[in-house]
Each structure stands twice: as structure tokens, then as C-alpha cells.
């Protein structure tokens, strides 16, 4: 299998043909299937035809909206998302483009007239927008597509750009969930990774978020950052536990090949980084600590105070086959089994939308089997998969369809299979994104993810 660039050490399970590579560099987190690298620049005509055709799924299938804000004050060393720290003059033009793109989709037979179940604003740094721009963006989007029945609206905030005035605007326009990107609560580690905020900024932003009032407050952390030790990570987690957020999300550091950190590693400019084994050990201890503090593990990455009240619908609904419309440069959509990504180049995206043309970059039309695999591997990240769900929706017996990888992973102690569920163990959840390739079709194993 490809290791996506040097320094890989692989995990092997009982089946010698089943190898779970753990490269030092490359993409790790799985957000869709088939992998992005299988998507093609061809197929734009088919995508437009799909939108121009009334959908084939029942009308009860949820629909979500993702809004990408690709602007930052500065680029973190490990960041691989599309973001610009040199194009802030384009913010107003970009807001107009988001409205125009949403208008293009709102008129299509496949999407027009449907209600939005959930909305997510990601980046980049969405909180970089001023309060006035937040008002303008929210007003423009809701003029095009009503949110009156939307169950969740999430908004990513960076500590230093979060203000009371912005938060009040978000609350008043219907945001229900704030995700605060702390990443670590140690100033030396934050500086070493190019973060523009310090610990005091996290604490001040969190205090403002609580005072303004939102239904759910999530704090993001990353395990394995440059300069991190067991002591700095554990103490960071303790400071987060003291804040008592509703949800704590912890990602293991990945180093895609297009990041400044990967370049620095290649040139020997960064000291040793944590191994995957070290990151898993720290994450294991973190979930143990959160459980002692009253949290319950809700996925491979998150622990929540109340599993019923603090559900992350943007994630859960997508993992169960919801449609997702993405707007903005590089945003991707999944509509009725058809995958599509927008142009990643900001200038090209703006020009295409201003010409009233869909900003298509690459597409992939999934087969029914690929749609089934997509839902199965994504639901594994939640820790438990209902066998009856797949029998009813796809007409398959999971244990029979995936007999070999399930048996291999069960022998490893990473999951278990009974009459009702496939359940991923704590050890399995710690490495779940590597496990998922075990269930891919042969042509999608070992290829670049993005």
C-alpha cells in the first residue's frame, strides 16, 4: 500500500493481505468515500443533470448546508484546508458569491423546496468576519433559503477573533452550536505550531461564548502537536475540563503533504514529532479522564456531557446518508449518491459564480454499493453500527458482506460483532481512520486520499 510519503510503519492484522499503513505524512481523517483522489474533473454534465432531476430518495432524507469561509489571519503550520491570509480584501465579494451560488442551487428540482435540517460554517476562520459581515451573510443566505425548520446551526470560532458583538449576531441569526478551536492550552506549543492565539485568548473567548448563550459549546483540541509532551497535553486537557464545555473534540495530528509542517519536516527544521502510538496513548488517557469528569464518548474524536442533548447532527446525519450541499471555494457536496467538489482556486471560484455558472471542480457518481460502504465506514467512527439498518436500507448482512475484515479486526480486539451491532472498541476507535480502508473496494485501497 502507498504510504503517501516517507517514514511509514504499518500495523498488520491476522490477514496478511490486510495492512493498515501509518505514514508520518499524508491525509488521515476520512470524511467521505470513495477517496477524493478517485473523483474526476469529468462528469460536470452528469452533476448538472442530477440537480435538474427530481431526487430519487424519499423526501424524508435530511439536507444539510456547508458554508466554507476560506480566510485566516495566518496559516497554521499543520493546516491543509483551503484558507488565505492574503486575500482579505475579497471578503465582501466572497459573501456576494456565496449568496449567488446558493441561489443557483435553490432553483434546481433536486434541491428546491426542501428544508434545511442542519447548517455548518467552517474554514478557514469564519469568526474572522466582522459582526456586520456576519449579519450580511446570514441575512443573504436566509433570504435565499429559509432556516425556520433547521435543527442545528454550527459555527467555528477562533479564540482571538471571537468577540461579544459577533457572538450576539450569531445567536440572533440562529446559531445553536459554537466550536472553539483551542487546539492546546500551552502557549509554547501554540507558538511552535503557528497559532495566532494564546491560552488567555481561549479562556476569554470561552467566557464570552457562555455569557452570550448557545445550546452547545464544543472545544477542539489536537493531540501530537509540535513541542507537545505528555505533561503539556495532560495539563491542557485539565484546563479544558475545568471550563466544562458541552463537548470536547480531540483530533490526532495528521501532516498532509501540502502543509508547511510537512515541508519543515522534510528540511529537518522541526524536531521529532509524536509517533502514532504516542498520540493514541495520549488520546486514550484523555478519554479516560473525560469519562471520569462525567463525559461519554460519542465518536472516535468526541466526548459529550449529555449524549441526547449534545448530539452533533452535522456529523451524525451525514454518516447516515443525509444529503449535503457545500457552497464556497473547495466545498464539497453529496447529493443522492453524487459527490462534487467546488473549484479550490479562490479567483476561479469567484469568476465562475459571478458568471452564474456552477463552480465545478471534480465529481464522482457513486454506485449503490459505494453508497453502502460510505455509510458503513463513516458510522464505524461513531462506535456502533446497527446491522438491521443496513439490512433494511441496503439489503445486506454486514457480517457476511465484510466477513474477512470483520473477523480480522475482531481478532485484534478492535471491534466486536453480535446479532444486532458491529461495535468498535476503544482501541479500535483510537485508530479507526486507518481501519476503514479494510472495508474499501480493492480499487480504492492504498491510493492517495485527497
Q: Are residues 79 and 177 in the same domain?
A: yes
- Helix/strand/coil (H, E, C) string of 372-420? HHHHHHHHHCCCEEEHHHHHHHHCCCHHHHCHHHHHHHHHHCCEEECCC
Q: Which domain holds residue 296?
A: 44-317
- Helix, strand, coil abundance in the chain, percent, nearest 5: 40, 20, 40
Q: Is residue 327 part of a domain?
A: no
- Residue 178: per-residue pLDDT: 98
- Residue 12: per-residue pLDDT: 31
Question: How confident is the prediction for the chain on average, in pLDDT?
Answer: 89
- Residue 27: per-residue pLDDT: 63
Cell of 169: 449576531
Question: From CA 354, how far away is CA 359, in angstroms rounded?
Answer: 10
**Would the pLDDT of 10 be above 70?**
no
Cβ-based burial of 100 (10 A; exposed 0-12, middle 13-18, buried ≥19) = middle
- Residue 49: per-residue pLDDT: 87
How many domains does one find in the chain? 2
Question: Crossing angle of helices 199-212/230-243, nearest 10°?
Answer: 20
Q: Is residue 336 part of a domain?
A: no
Q: Is the peptide bond before 34 cis (omega within 30 degrees of 0)?
A: yes
Once rounded to an integer, what is the mean pLDDT over residues 152-171?
A: 97
Identify the band that residue 105 occupies on the pLDDT scale cut at 50, 70 and 90. very high
List the one residue out of 208, 219, 275 whose CA is nearest residue 431: 275
Phi and psi at 231, nearest 5°, equal -70, -45
**Would the pLDDT of 8 be above 60?**
no
**Would the pLDDT of 23 be above 80?**
no
**The domain spanning residue 25 has which CATH number?**
1.10.10.920
**The domain spanning residue 74 has which CATH number?**
3.80.30.20
Identify the band that residue 74 occupies on the pLDDT scale cut at 50, 70 and 90. low
Question: What global pTM score does this model have?
Answer: 0.91
Q: Are residues 253 and 105 in the same domain?
A: yes
- Residue 80: per-residue pLDDT: 52
Higher-scoring residue by pLDDT: 446, 2: 446
- Residue 2: per-residue pLDDT: 30
- Residue 83: per-residue pLDDT: 52
Task: Name the least confident of 24-38, 137-151, 427-441.
Answer: 24-38
pLDDT above 70 covers a percentage of the chain that reads 87
Q: Are residues 285 and 141 in the same domain?
A: yes
Q: Is residue 263 part of a domain?
A: yes
Q: Are residues 72 and 150 in the same domain?
A: yes
Q: Where are the alpha helices (DSSP H) in 107-246?
A: 131-144, 164-172, 187-192, 199-212, 230-243
Amino acid at each position: 500500500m502507498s504510504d503517501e510519503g516517507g517514514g511509514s510503519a504499518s500495523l498488520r492484522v491476522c490477514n496478511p493481505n490486510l495492512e493498515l499503513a501509518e505514514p508520518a505524512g499524508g491525509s488521515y481523517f476520512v470524511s467521505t468515500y470513495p477517496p477524493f483522489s478517485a473523483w474526476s474533473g469529468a462528469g460536470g454534465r452528469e452533476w448538472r443533470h442530477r440537480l435538474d432531476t427530481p431526487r430519487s430518495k424519499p423526501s424524508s432524507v435530511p439536507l444539510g448546508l456547508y458554508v466554507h469561509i476560506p480566510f485566516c489571519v495566518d496559516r497554521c503550520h499543520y493546516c491543509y484546508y483551503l484558507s488565505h491570509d492574503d486575500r482579505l480584501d475579497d471578503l465582501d465579494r466572497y459573501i456576494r458569491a456565496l449568496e449567488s451560488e446558493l441561489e443557483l442551487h435553490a432553483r434546481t428540482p433536486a434541491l428546491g423546496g426542501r428544508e434545511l435540517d442542519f447548517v455548518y460554517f467552517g474554514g478557514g476562520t469564519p469568526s474572522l468576519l466582522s459582526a456586520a459581515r456576519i449579519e450580511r451573510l446570514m441575512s443573504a443566505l436566509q433570504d435565499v433559503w429559509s432556516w425556520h425548520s433547521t435543527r442545528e446551526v454550527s459555527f467555528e470560532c477562533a479564540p482571538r477573533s471571537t468577540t461579544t458583538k459577533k457572538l450576539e449576531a450569531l445567536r440572533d441569526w440562529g446559531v445553536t452550536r459554537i466550536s472553539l478551536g483551542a487546539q492546546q492550552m500551552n502557549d509554547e506549543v501554540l507558538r511552535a505550531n503557528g497559532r495566532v492565539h494564546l491560552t488567555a485568548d481561549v479562556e476569554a473567548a470561552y467566557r464570552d461564548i457562555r455569557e452570550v448563550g448557545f445550546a452547545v459549546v464544543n472545544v477542539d483540541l489536537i493531540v501530537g502537536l509540535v513541542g507537545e509532551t505528555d505533561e503539556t497535553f495532560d495539563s491542557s486537557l485539565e484546563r479544558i475540563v475545568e471550563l466544562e464545555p458541552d463537548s470536547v473534540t480531540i483530533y490526532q495530528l495528521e501532516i498532509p503533504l501540502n502543509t508547511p509542517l510537512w515541508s519543515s519536516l522534510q528540511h529537518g527544521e522541526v524536531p521529532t514529532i509524536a509517533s502514532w502510538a504516542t498520540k493514541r496513548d495520549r488520546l486514550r488517557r484523555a478519554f479516560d479522564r473525560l469519562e471520569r469528569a462525567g463525559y461519554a464518548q460519542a465518536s472516535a474524536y468526541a466526548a459529550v456531557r449529555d449524549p441526547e442533548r449534545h448530539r452533533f447532527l452535522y456529523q451524525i446525519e451525514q454518516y447516515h446518508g443525509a444529503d449535503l450541499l457545500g457552497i464556497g471555494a473547495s466545498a464539497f457536496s453529496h447529493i443522492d449518491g453524487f459527490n462534487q467538489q467546488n473549484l479550490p482556486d479562490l479567483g476561479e471560484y469567484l469568476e465562475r459564480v459571478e458568471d452564474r455558472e456552477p463552480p465545478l471542480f471534480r465529481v464522482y457518481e457513486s454506485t449503490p454499493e459505494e453508497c453502502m460502504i460510505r455509510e458503513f465506514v463513516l458510522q464505524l467512527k461513531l462506535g456502533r453500527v446497527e446491522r438491521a439498518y443496513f439490512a433494511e436500507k441496503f439489503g445486506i448482512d454486514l457480517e457476511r458482506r465484510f466477513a474477512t475484515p470483520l473477523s480480522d479486526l475482531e481478532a485484534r480486539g478492535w471491534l466486536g460483532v453480535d446479532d444486532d451491532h458491529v461495535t468498535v472498541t476503544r482501541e479500535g476507535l483510537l485508530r479507526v481512520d486507518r481501519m476503514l480502508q479494510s472495508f474499501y473496494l480493492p480499487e480504492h485501497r492504498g491510493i492517495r486520499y485527497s
